[in-house]
Amino acid sequence: YEIAEQIGPKLAQAAVAAKVDGKVTDLKRPLDRDVALEIVTVDSPEGLEVLRHSTAHLMAQAIRRLYPGTKLAIGPVVGERFYYDIDCPKSLTVEDFPAIEAEMAKIVKENWEIRREEISKADAEALFREMDEPFKLEILEGLQDGEISLYRQGEFVDLCRGPHVPTTGYIKAFKLLSVAGAYWRGDSSRPMLQRIYGTAFPKQSELEAYLQRLEEAARRDHRRLGPALGLFSFHEESPGFAYWHPKGQILYRTLENFSRELQEARGYQEVATPWISRSQLWEQSGHWEHYRENMFRMEYEGESLAVKPMNCPNHCLMYKEQTRSYRDLPIRFAEYGPLSRYELSGTLHGLMRVRGFHQDDAHLYVREDQIEQEIFGVLELFDVVYSTLGLKYSIKLSTRPEKFLGTVETWDRAEQALMRALEKAGRPYEINPGDGAFYGPKLDIYVTDALERVWQCATVQLDYQLPERFDLTYVDAAGSHKRPVMIHRAIFGSLERFIGILVEHFAGAFPTWLAPVQARVIPVGINYFEYAYGVAEKLKRMGIRVEVDSRNEKVGYKIRDAQLQKIPYMLVVGEKEAASGTVAVRHRSRGDLGAQDVEAFGRAVADEIARRALD
């Protein structure tokens, strides 16, 4: 902090933390050696995280004041929000938030110094035992002596690594957002806690802009729009599995067929494999050891079986059924079948987190000299799909995790191959250390939607392990048996999740080619029903998805309903249109487009659909 002051008062005023030799730390930590120093300001990503982490402590202090006996668990920052898991004597609701926020504002005004203390593990255990904080004591069990730090502000003390802002007065603009249930450490056999979410920003204006974005996100929420538009629903009888309604199934199949069309033109072969297999298959693949807790398992006739969470082991069995030549490679298997993964009930979230889903899944078996070209081909597919949908994307290369199959040498080769492919393709990317799959490094594709939110969708994984485990080979030009390399690849990722993202990205107003109903014919009265159905029949023959609104309602009501249903084109027909063979065209966003010949309108819309044009 003193160095920031020497550089300039404005920097000192904006500073909330420091980065010492690359590690974010408190402004008040003394420097006892030469270091690489960077002052972290409140408008940087690291500074915002420090601010929000400190606001989580501020909220916990306010709750403890208002509700004595509250036990604290953990309070991390997640993106633009923070939360704190608590065991509170009172079941809190959003109605309690104003009182908590008022107490938080009071603590800000008190401007308590936020002090870091480093103590022994034994002293920390004694302190939190005296405070009757069982969750903190359990956290301490997993810590080594010499790593224990506390933060104090006024009467409040918390077990925390930090860093934090220097005083509570630094926290200017905050808002509590929601409350939900959360099992301690995500374990359904452990206590259910209350999770209070909030956010914080350097300025009130930034907070208000964020809250407006939240309102827009709520308006676009796929869990509300999906049922309202007749796309899908969920029922308690099948938690985590979507019920696709006729309109939703049209949307689903349109996307799936788009993927099929692209893949067939690029040499992919579609296959279908069983969705239940004996445990031996998953033992051989390594999933039984590394992924079993995420699989639906069953016992039947003395055997252990599991519903497949992914297709790769089955595709390996199909590859191995016959002798492969180096001339046969690359072999590209694609599959759209059902997959299922066990997700805790508390983590389920509409289409974004489900237990049953489908992928535009593919596995490519290639020679080592083909890796880069095949990665180029996959990247080109990303470009086509995401540009068609008007989505920007970025790439992260996720490297070897702590627990992995195979050797460090093969992992290094795989990571270097992905890097070379990206660099030769001229694609910028970030390294995401330690987040690879247990069998290989991967490229994660992050899509940015209309609200500038980032979603992880597609993935490309380079795998030397499964070909080894399944003893996959091909015969090279010299007659020797060589091991192929396997590329796991999905463009949409989970179709369910991708559709959830698209619903929110387009706010339900899909481009015409994706819209389940592309045009609705609206007769002004019963005398024009026959003409309306004739118009609909002509348009159907031209490949347009069209319906007739034959309800006994006023025209204005029918138009408003079509607008609410996000139908791209409304075709009003009455005496004038019937006499001239035309339709009065309205577009959901462009308004009145005037009278148009039925055939001419149909050709224009059919062309729009064929081009997969964005609005």
**Residues known to be catalytic:** 312, 341, 359, 361, 363, 442, 488
Query: What is the edge-to-edge ordering of all strands in the sheet holding 15-20?
Result: 23-25, 15-20, 37-41
How many CB atoms sit inside 10 A of residue 430's CB? 11
Beta strands in 141-191 (DSSP E): 149-153, 156-159, 173-183
Give one word for 337, left, alpha or beta, with left for phi > 0 and alpha for psi -120 to 50: beta
397, exposed or middle or buried, with CB in 10 Å at 0-12, 13-18, 19+? buried
Q: What residues does 305 pair with on adjacent strands?
A: 278, 298
Long-range CB pairs of 119-123, under 8 A, 24+ apart, other chains included: 119/148, 119/149, 119/150, 120/145, 120/146, 120/148, 121/145, 121/146, 121/147, 121/148, 123/148
Torsion over CA: 411, 412, 416, 419 (sign): positive
Helix, strand, coil content of the chain in percent (nearest 5): 40, 30, 35
Displacement of CA 228 from its chain's centroid (Å): 22
- For 94, counting Cβ atoms within 10 Å of its Cβ (0-12 exposed, 13-18 middle, 19+ buried), the class is exposed
d(CA 591, CA 600): 18
Cis peptide before 163 (omega within 30 of 0): yes
Q: Are 521 and 583 in contact (CB under 8 A)?
A: yes
Residue 177 to residues 61, 87, 157, 210, 457, Cα–Cα distance (Å): 17, 18, 24, 11, 26
| Secondary structure element (H or E) that encloses residue 78, with its range | strand 77-78
